[in-house]
Amino acid sequence: MSSHLDATAPLKGKPSKQTERKLKKEAKTQLASYFLMIAITSMAFISIASDAIPSGFAIPFILLLAAVQVTFQLYIFMHMGERKTSWVNIMIWTGMLIAVLTVGALMFLIGVVKY
């Protein structure tokens, strides 16, 4: 008999009460986050489609909503808020900082200062 356990194998037996509570809480959080993502996306679409946002503020508004949505998705759906993810958090946020600085510098170099 092999001592190797397959981590992807379905669990046998009934989960404990603590595991059931944790799974229910996780399901509620993900469902609420899913509807929040739909609301943020709808708000962006409706605000631009109805011209509720001045045209000079439209792109920063959409980028702000996108940043909020990406942050929520990383922490809720990608589980970045859990323990033992500190190095993953550092690497992802450092990568995002470098990407933003690079895009900003390239926009400045090619003369895109007004959007």
DSSP three-state, residue 82? coil
- The 10s digit of each residue's pLDDT in 69-90 is 998 888 888 888 777 888 888 9
CA distance 104 to 115: 12
CB distance 76 to 30 below 8 Å = yes
Do 44 and 71 fall into the same domain?
yes
pTM of the model: 0.67
Do 50 and 98 fall into the same domain?
no
Do 93 and 73 fall into the same domain?
no
Comparing CA positions, the residue from 44, 32, 22, 28 lying closest to residue 72 is: 32
User: What pLDDT score was predicted for residue 114?
Assistant: 66
For residue 5, is it within any domain? no
DSSP three-state, residue 88? helix
The parent domain of residue 49 ranges over: 17-77
Look at the chain and report how many structural domains it folds into: 2
Do 72 and 29 fall into the same domain?
yes
CA distance 111 to 55: 20
